[in-house]
Each structure stands twice: as structure tokens, then as C-alpha cells.
Structure 1
Amino acid sequence: MVVLAVAVFVMLSSCAVGCLGNKNSTELKLWSMENQSMALQLAAVLKEMERLKCEQTTLQQQQNALTQVYITSHQKRAQKEVAGTNILTYGSNDEEEDNLPFSEEDSRKRGDPCFHYTVLDQAWRATNTTTKNKMCDRNFKWKGWYRLFYNGKSLQMPEKCVPVNKCGTQSPLWLAGPHPKRREGIVTRRVCGHWKKNCCAFRSTPIQVKKCRGNYYVYKFTEPSSCYLAYCADINTLVCGRCRRNQSCVSRDKINWRCKGKKRMSSKKIHFFASYPGQLKGKVNRVKYSKVLVNVGRAFDRRTGVFKAPVKGVYQFFFSTQTANTGLKTDLWLVVNGYWAAVSHTHISRPSTVGSLSTYMTFLHRGAVVYVTHNCGSSWANAASMTITFGGSLLAQWK
């Protein structure tokens, strides 16, 4: 009997340690083999076995509950079904941002709607769609920012009045103002609903709009003022989703859109070089440099001798003269917008010939006028020497 009791005790002890671990192991009561009967010892052992089995069941239930919480938290990030249309959320409001769908490190900012928006891909919103069942966006619980798609392709709101009974509703909502440029950030725009030949019969609650890198827009939609009103997705702007980063989406009639390359400020080239193949004596208000060798950008007019700045920026000019009259002072002045800005001066004290070259750098606004005046003295040149010259270049263009 002693052997049997000891064997049962060892079995229960190992079970308790395996199921509950060292920390939660059960301390079994030892009975005196001399003072207790075999029946009482067996009853106590069976009771202890039932208690251990109950604790093991409780621990198993707790483990299952924790597993279910973990699975549920991950399922919330999956695709949601709203009104029978797939609406996917890009970005996250949680602390983890490891799964953002964009790889641009500098643009991963908390609260930036360009990377935290909901995809709104509902075909009935297209400007060419008419349905029997009229939709009303007042019944939709708008929250946060949205980006419009049509069958997986990015597009934007219309900027022109949409005919009634389009966009899956009675009074289509369109953007009563231009989409912003990226440097403008987040802007507020009015939204109008077309009804009974009045393009702005319904003036709904204004919305916020932002342009993002990649030529797409995000919208912070709000509940319309009444039913049946719904936000439109302009089917004509599908081409805008194909524009490159150095292109902008433009339209003259707000119906036909196209991608247009942006002008690079540094691409503008302005250079000119001209000479006067003759003699100048005394006062000449404006030297007409008739021989033009370089005129990139066509900013210099050979008939008047005037350079007119085509763009705003930093320019550098040079002008020269040659004199040979002893004791005679010769001055040429560079005139900028009517002001005498720089002089080319010579004064010969003995028989010889002297050349003089002057340079001048300045900032000019578009339309500024620059020319050279012969104030006094005598200058000479011929077709081969080119000693009386005038030239300049655009060094840097400003926006």
C-alpha cells in the first residue's frame, strides 16, 4: 500500500509541474501512513486530481482568449466592406507605421493626409454614370481623408458643373474652385450641387483639398446639406493619374485634360554680343550696335540698341571702347532703367591708343531696359576690330 500511495503522489506532482510550471506548482499534502486508512488516502488523492484538472482547464481558456484578441487586432487592418464597395485604408492611426504603402522616408509624417487616406473606389460616382437607385452621401459617415479612384485608377473631382442625375445621384456635387497647387498645402473649397438648371442650387458644406506628390489629390469630405447629393469623380481626369512628377494636369475647358511638362526655371538661356563698326564722337544718347553676333533668347534689339530683360533674374553686362585722341576724355555709360549705372572711361595724356572694358552685374525684373550711351570724347572701331562692344548674359533666373 505504501508503494501504491507513493507512486500516485509522484504522478500527481509531475502532472502539476508540467501543466502549471514551477511557479504555480501545487504543494500536495503528505499523509501519515500509520494514522490514515487506505480509503481516506485514495479519496484525498482523487480530490487533488480533480482540483488540478480544473486549474488546467482555466489556464487553457485564458490562453485561448489571449489568442483571439491577437487575431482580432490584426483582422481590423484587413479590407472593409462598406455598402457593397471596397474601401481600403492607406496608412494607419496606430503607433506602428511599418506597413505604409509609400517608400519616401521624408514624407512619412504623422497626420499628413497624402499618406493617411481612405481609397474611395465606387464606380457609380463617375460623371458618366446614371443609376436607378439614387445615392445620398448624407447617409455616409465621413471620417478623415479620401482619394478618388475608378476601377483602380486615380482621378479627381470635377471642376465644372455636372448634369443632373449623374454620379449615381440626383444632384451631383462638384468642386466650385480650382484644385490647389502642392505648395499651397491644405485649402478649403466650396462644393456645389446641380439641380433644375442651377449649377449651384445646393451649396453644400465646404471641404478641404490637398495636392500630393505624384499628381493626385486627397479630400476631406463632409456630410452634404441634404439628400440626394453625392460627390462626383470626374471620369475625364483619369489621364491625370498618368502624369509624371515633372508634369501637371491641365485643361482649358475643364473637360478634356492632358499632362503638360513644367517649365524648368534654369532652362531659360539669354546671351547676346554686339559691336559698333564705326566711329563715335561727342554725345550719342543711345549707341545702336548694328553688328549682332550672338542673340540667344532674342532679348537684344539691333534696331534700337536696347536690351530688354525677358525674365526676372541676375544679369551680367560688359561694354567696351577704344580711343586715340591725345588729351581727350571719353566716357561710355551703361544705363539701366534710366539710371547711369557704370562707366567705361579713358583719358590719354600722350599719343597712343587705349581700350577700356567695364562689367556690371545686377538684378533685373522682367521688362527692365538696358542700353549704352556715349557721353563724351571719341571712340573708333571698324568691322574687323570690334572695339566698341556691348554684351550680357542671364546668370540665374528667379521665380
Structure 2
Amino acid sequence: MVVLAVAVFVTLSSCAFGCSGNTNSTELKLWSMENQPAGVQLAAVLKEVESLKCEQATLQKQQNALTQMHSANYWERAQRKVATNVLTYGANDEEEDDLDFSEEDSRRRGDPCFHYTVLDDAWRATSSTTKSKNCDRNIKWKGWYRLFYKGKSIQMPERCVAVNKCGTQSPLWLVGSHPKRRDGIVTRRICGHWKKNCCAFRSTPIQVKKCRGNYYVYKFTPPTSCNLAYCADINTLICGRCRRNQSCVSRDKINWRCKTKRRRLSKKVHFFASYPAQLSGKVNRIKYSKVLVNVGRAFRRTTGVFKAPVNGVYQFFFSSQTANTNLKTDLWLVVNGYWVAVSQTRISRSSSVGSLSMYMTFLRRGSVVYVTHNSGKSWANPNSMTITFGGSLLAQMK
């Protein structure tokens, strides 16, 4: 029973290590020694165990080699991607944490915010003074670039930089402010400071774009002469720490800070008014004297006119009540001088009939709306609320 148990153990062990080709031969060899002395059988078992250990060690080495090869290939691909400086940013610069690159590629293809070269030269900083005089005319500029200073995002200066700064004799600075993100790609002039003239050298204009995440990319061009080099404003390091809901601002272009953008609150506009008396014949503009609601103060009781306070989609309603037989009563809604909707009643027998009309439209700020009584008779009293005019802002627009 001892020999049988050992043989079974060896068989299972050999299968566990993946040596399926030797399983049957091992079993036959051990069982062929069934009639041999116990010492001989034990020696044979130990020999087979050592053989299996060697096979296990060989397989382990092969597995380690494959793992290292896979890891090396992975890091080689990663380093090659960094070396080409074609960077694709995820959650830090975008609203989504998980991006479907198959869908995003078509949108991002050609967008310099996702395809640029990192330009991280410490000597370009506005605080840098070196004996070497660099010249960007000797560089073969290609495509778009993003400025860094020791791994931190930075921007070009928007002010004149002292001579012999930025590792060159005539530092190049951006004339005009950086664009906003909605501006897209813009062209900006470049000037070089020399001999107390901030624009002694007028270099070839460059293109600039603001990207999501409060950073800029530049399409640099070779300067007109040497020694000129593009500067990186050390004061704008703070801008790289601004959050998505913040903008980087400065009054003197030296001291920068992150300013939280104010959310534009939607304007609320609602009004409801009534005319508590009778109307007859032509009334060019009904002055609804009883105002019950006037949120936003866009309706004036003294004139009966509503004036749109913002651009947006508005909805209006107006009503009348008549009790005259065979007499047509018309009320018209007038927008910027145009009669656009009518509330009309006509009855053939003695009774009282009311009419309510509604109208929805887009209005620009300053548009004027009122109601005119064109014909007939309308009646109301202080409690009836039968001649009314009201409206609301449904959606504010730019």
C-alpha cells in the first residue's frame, strides 16, 4: 500500500507540472519494480521525484522568461509612445473617466490638444539667465507644442521680458492675450525685446489654442533671426493648478491666480395682470392695472407693456369676455409692432362667452409685447378676472 500511494503521488505531481508525456512511462516503470526490494523501489521513486523537480524548474524558468519578455515589450511600447510625445489625456483634462477611444479618435484626430510635443527646457523660463545664447531659428519646428517647466504646465508670457532672459539675448513674448477655449485656434504676433525696445524683432506669427484643462498649445515657427528664443513665463505655473471651473487671471501679467467662474443664473420672468373694467371699441394698448404677479419686473402696469429682459423663449396668454349678441370682439397680441395672435368671440344669442389664446415665441432682449382691443365689447369687474394678460420665460438663451 505504501508503494502504491507513492506511485499515485508521483503520477499526480507529474500531471500538475504539465509533463503529460512522461506520466505513462513513470507509472509503468514504478509498477514494473513491484517485486523488487523496498529500498530499490524507494530509490527509483526518489529518482523520479528529482527528475520531476528538474522539469518543474525548467518550466518555471521558461515562464519567467516569457513574463519578462512580455513586460519588456509593454514598457518598450509605453516609452515609444512617450518618446513620440503624442499624448492622449483622460480624466485629468476631460469630464469622463473612461473613454471609448474608437469613438473619440475620429473627433480628436487633428485636434492639437491631443497631439502635441512636450517642450520642457528649464532655460526658457523668464527667471532663467544663462551664458549660452540659444536660438530657436536653428530648431526644425513641426506641429504643435505644449510648454512645461520641470514637468509642470506653463504658458508664454503676455508681457515684455527683460533682455538676456529665457536663455537667449532677445526673449520672444506673446503680443495680446491668450485665447479662450471657444475661440478655437487663433493667430498671435510675436515680439522680441532688444535695446529697450520690447518689439525690436517682429517674429513670424504663431498659432495658439486653449485646451480643456487650462493649458495652451502653440504652433511655433522659426524666428526671423538669432539670437531669439520663445519664453515660458514662470509666473504662470499657478495656472496649471486651476480646476476646470476656474480660469487663470492676472491684472499685471505678473501675478496670476485661479478665479472660479461664476455660474450664470437663469433669469426668472413671470407676470399675470388683469383689467377690472369694461372695454369697448378700439383700445390701442390695454393698461392692465391690476398686477398680481411680476417676477423679474418686466411688465409695467402704467403702460401695459411687457419688455423682454433677456434673450429666450417666452409663452404668453391673454383672455376676454363678451356678452353682446352678434358682435365680434377681437383682442390681438402685438409683438414688436406685429399683430401675431388673436382672441376672438362672437355669439348669436344672449349669453356670455370667454376666449383664451396662447402664443409662444423667441424674443430678443428689449422686445416689446402688449395687447390691443381691436373691436367689440369686453366686460370684467374687480373680482371676475376675465380680461387678463400674462406670460413666462420658458428658456433663457445666449
CA distance in 1 between partners of 2:352 and 2:261 (Å) = 54
The DSSP-based 3-state class of the residue aligned with 1:311 is: coil
Deviation at 1:377, TM superposition (A): 2.9
For the Cα contact (< 8 Å) 2:246–2:258, is it kept in 1? no
CA distance in 2 between partners of 1:353 and 1:180 (Å) = 64
CA distance in 2 between partners of 1:209 and 1:202 (Å) = 20
For the Cα contact (< 8 Å) 1:89–1:119, is it kept in 2? no
CA distance in 2 between partners of 1:290 and 1:258 (Å) = 50
Please list, as runs of the form range in 1=range in 2, the aligned pairs for 1:1-399 lying within 5 A after superposition. 74=76, 77=79, 90-91=85-86, 100-102=88-90, 104=99, 105=101, 106-108=103-105, 109-131=108-130, 133-250=132-249, 254-255=253-254, 256-261=256-261, 263=263, 267-399=266-398
Deviation at 1:218, TM superposition (A): 0.9
The change in CA–CA distance for 1:386 and 1:205 in structure 2 (over 3 A counts) is same
Deviation at 1:320, TM superposition (A): 1.2
What are the Cα deviations for residues 230-277 of structure 1, in whole angstroms up to 9, with x where unaligned? 22223443343334435444556555454342656x934433322233
What are the Cα deviations for residues 274-320 of structure 1, in whole angstroms up to 9, with x where unaligned? 22333333332222233333334433333332222233333221111
The change in CA–CA distance for 1:324 and 1:236 in structure 2 (over 3 A counts) is farther
Structure 1 segments (4+ residues) deviating >6 Å: none
User: Which amino acid counterpart does residue 275 of structure 2 have in structure 1?
Assistant: Y
Unaligned stretches of 5+ residues in structure 1: 1-66, 81-87, 93-99
The change in CA–CA distance for 1:394 and 1:75 in structure 2 (over 3 A counts) is closer
CA distance in 1 between partners of 2:377 and 2:76 (Å) = 90
CA distance in 2 between partners of 1:135 and 1:277 (Å) = 84
What are the Cα deviations for residues 197-217 of structure 1, in whole angstroms up to 9, with x where unaligned? 433221112222222222221
The DSSP-based 3-state class of the residue aligned with 2:79 is: coil
The change in CA–CA distance for 1:361 and 1:101 in structure 2 (over 3 A counts) is closer
The change in CA–CA distance for 1:302 and 1:241 in structure 2 (over 3 A counts) is farther
* 1:48 corresponding residue in structure 2: none
CA distance in 2 between partners of 1:303 and 1:239 (Å) = 54
For the Cα contact (< 8 Å) 1:381–1:388, is it kept in 2? yes
For the Cα contact (< 8 Å) 1:271–1:391, is it kept in 2? yes
The DSSP-based 3-state class of the residue aligned with 2:384 is: coil
The DSSP-based 3-state class of the residue aligned with 1:77 is: helix
The DSSP-based 3-state class of the residue aligned with 1:237 is: helix
For the Cα contact (< 8 Å) 2:211–2:217, is it kept in 1? yes
CA distance in 2 between partners of 1:317 and 1:241 (Å) = 48
CA distance in 2 between partners of 1:161 and 1:239 (Å) = 20
User: Which amino acid counterpart does residue 389 of structure 1 have in structure 2?
Assistant: T
Higher mean alpha-carbon deviation, 202-211 vs 100-109, is at 100-109
The DSSP-based 3-state class of the residue aligned with 1:180 is: coil
Deviation at 1:165, TM superposition (A): 4.0
CA distance in 1 between partners of 2:160 and 2:150 (Å) = 23
Greater helix fraction, Structure 1 or Structure 2: 2
Structure 2 length normalisation: TM-score? 0.67
The DSSP-based 3-state class of the residue aligned with 1:292 is: strand
Deviation at 1:378, TM superposition (A): 3.0
Two-structure CA RMSD over aligned residues (Å): 3.4
The change in CA–CA distance for 1:298 and 1:127 in structure 2 (over 3 A counts) is farther
User: Which amino acid counterpart does residue 169 of structure 1 have in structure 2?
Assistant: T
Deviation at 1:326, TM superposition (A): 4.1
CA distance in 2 between partners of 1:341 and 1:145 (Å) = 54
Deviation at 1:364, TM superposition (A): 2.2
Deviation at 1:132, TM superposition (A): 5.2
CA distance in 2 between partners of 1:156 and 1:313 (Å) = 38
The change in CA–CA distance for 1:395 and 1:76 in structure 2 (over 3 A counts) is closer
CA distance in 2 between partners of 1:162 and 1:301 (Å) = 56
Deviation at 1:146, TM superposition (A): 1.5
The DSSP-based 3-state class of the residue aligned with 2:137 is: helix
Structure 1 length normalisation: TM-score? 0.67
Deviation at 1:184, TM superposition (A): 4.3
User: Which amino acid counterpart does residue 90 of structure 1 have in structure 2?
Assistant: N
CA distance in 1 between partners of 2:193 and 2:292 (Å) = 61
For the Cα contact (< 8 Å) 1:248–1:262, is it kept in 2? no
For the Cα contact (< 8 Å) 1:250–1:260, is it kept in 2? no
Deviation at 1:390, TM superposition (A): 1.6
The change in CA–CA distance for 1:326 and 1:250 in structure 2 (over 3 A counts) is farther
Deviation at 1:189, TM superposition (A): 2.4
The change in CA–CA distance for 1:292 and 1:175 in structure 2 (over 3 A counts) is farther
Q: How many residues align?
A: 315
The change in CA–CA distance for 1:116 and 1:389 in structure 2 (over 3 A counts) is same
The change in CA–CA distance for 1:149 and 1:171 in structure 2 (over 3 A counts) is same
CA distance in 1 between partners of 2:113 and 2:369 (Å) = 47
